[in-house]
């Protein structure tokens, strides 16, 4: 994990509903230091989260550019939705604001898209879902992202969305057994809807899965949400 001189380092940032994480990556996307995490500031408004990122950045070795995963729709560096953060994020230019604060170029993308980049093989139809505070989703065709897939807020069952049935609030309220039953049903639904070659399941709550996954599905480590950040700079 020693930093050789002369390479370009990327500060990867993952903004979540419960934690904000950072780590630096080399040009191949390998970690160059220790992952650091702080609790998401409350209320989770833009200025407070940016402050947290600026402080976390100081814990890392030097870097030349930044890649950020954000828990909502992102278009041209502007955050368009933020269901699990704060309404102040709607139409906020995270890319330019953070770039000014850190004095480095910044690219921002949806957090589930970044998880996907950190996990997919780049062959066939690959679907990624993330189980954390919210329910994230990302779809890839031969390694190319289909942008802005927001399955979490679509109806799933009993008049509730995937996120309402499977987000952290539901897990806390209903318990692991019910949450697992729901997730098994959700995966069966998604398999029929997308007919994917592979399903990847990420996010901090994926560790609670207690049933046997189908052969074409696997759990990916949460660190993919940081490791995938390198893809933003490789495109």
Stretch that binds ligand BGC, among 27-35, 85-93, 134-142, 181-189 (CB under 6 A): 134-142
Q: Which residues pair with 125 in a beta bridge?
A: 141
95 near ligand BGC (CB under 6 A): no
Query: 71 or 228, CB closer to ligand BGC?
Result: 71
What is the widest separation between alpha-carbon atoms in the chain?
A: 56
- Cα–Cα distance for residue pair 91/151, rounded to 1 Å: 21
Can residue 14 be called a binding residue for ligand BGC (CB under 6 A)? no
Q: How many CB atoms lie within 10 A of CB 101?
A: 15
Q: Is 112 in the site for ligand BGC (CB under 6 A)?
A: yes
Burial of 219 (0-12, 13-18, 19+ CB in 10 A): middle
Q: Should residue 225 be labelled a site residue for ligand BGC when binding is judged by CB under 6 A?
A: no
Cα(7)–Cα(29) distance, rounded to whole angstroms? 12
Residue in the shown chain whose Cβ atom is closest to ligand BGC: 134
121, 140 contact by CB (below 8 A)? no
Among 25, 83, 109, 230, contact with ligand BGC (rule: CB under 6 A): 83
**Dihedral over alpha carbons 28, 52, 36, 207 (to 10 degrees):** -90
CB 99 within 8 A of CB 56: no
Residue selected from 134, 202, 228, 229 as contacting ligand BGC according to rule CB under 6 A: 134
Number of residues engaging ligand BGC in binding (CB under 6 A)? 18
Among 32, 33, 136, 225, the residue binding ligand BGC under the rule CB under 6 A is 136
Q: Are the C-beta atoms of residues 131 and 211 closer than 8 Å to each other?
A: no
Q: Is 205 in the site for ligand BGC (CB under 6 A)?
A: no
**Binding flags for ligand BGC, 141-180, as an x/- string (CB under 6 A):** ---------x-xx---------x-----------------
Site residues (CB under 6 A) for ligand BGC?
71-73, 81, 83-84, 110-112, 130, 132, 134-136, 150, 152-153, 163
């Amino acid at each position: 994990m020693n930093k050789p001189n002369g390479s370009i380092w990327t500060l990867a940032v993952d903004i979540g509903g419960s934690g904000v994480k950072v780590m630096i990556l080399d040009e191949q996307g390998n970690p160059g230091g220790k992952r650091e995490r702080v609790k998401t500031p409350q209320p989770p408004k833009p200025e407070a989260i940016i402050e947290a990122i600026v402080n976390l950045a100081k814990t890392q070795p030097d870097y030349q550019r930044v890649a950020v995963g954000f828990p909502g729709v992102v278009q041209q560096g502007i955050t368009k939705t933020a269901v699990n953060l704060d309404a102040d994020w709607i139409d906020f230019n995270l890319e330019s604001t953070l770039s000014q604060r850190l004095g480095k170029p910044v690219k921002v993308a949806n957090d589930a898209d970044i998880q996907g980049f950190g996990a997919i093989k780049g062959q066939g139809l690959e679907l990624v879902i993330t189980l954390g505070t919210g329910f994230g989703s990302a779809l890839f065709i031969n390694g190319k992202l289909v942008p802005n897939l927001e399955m979490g807020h679509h109806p799933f069952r009993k008049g509730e969305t995937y996120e309402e049935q499977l987000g952290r609030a539901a897990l806390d309220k209903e318990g692991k057994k019910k949450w697992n039953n729901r997730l098994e049903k959700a995966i069966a639904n998604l398999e029929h809807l997308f007919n994917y070659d592979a399903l990847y399941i990420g996010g901090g709550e994926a560790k609670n899965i207690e049933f046997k996954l189908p052969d074409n599905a696997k759990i990916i480590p949460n660190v993919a949400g940081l490791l995938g950040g390198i893809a933003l700079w490789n495109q």
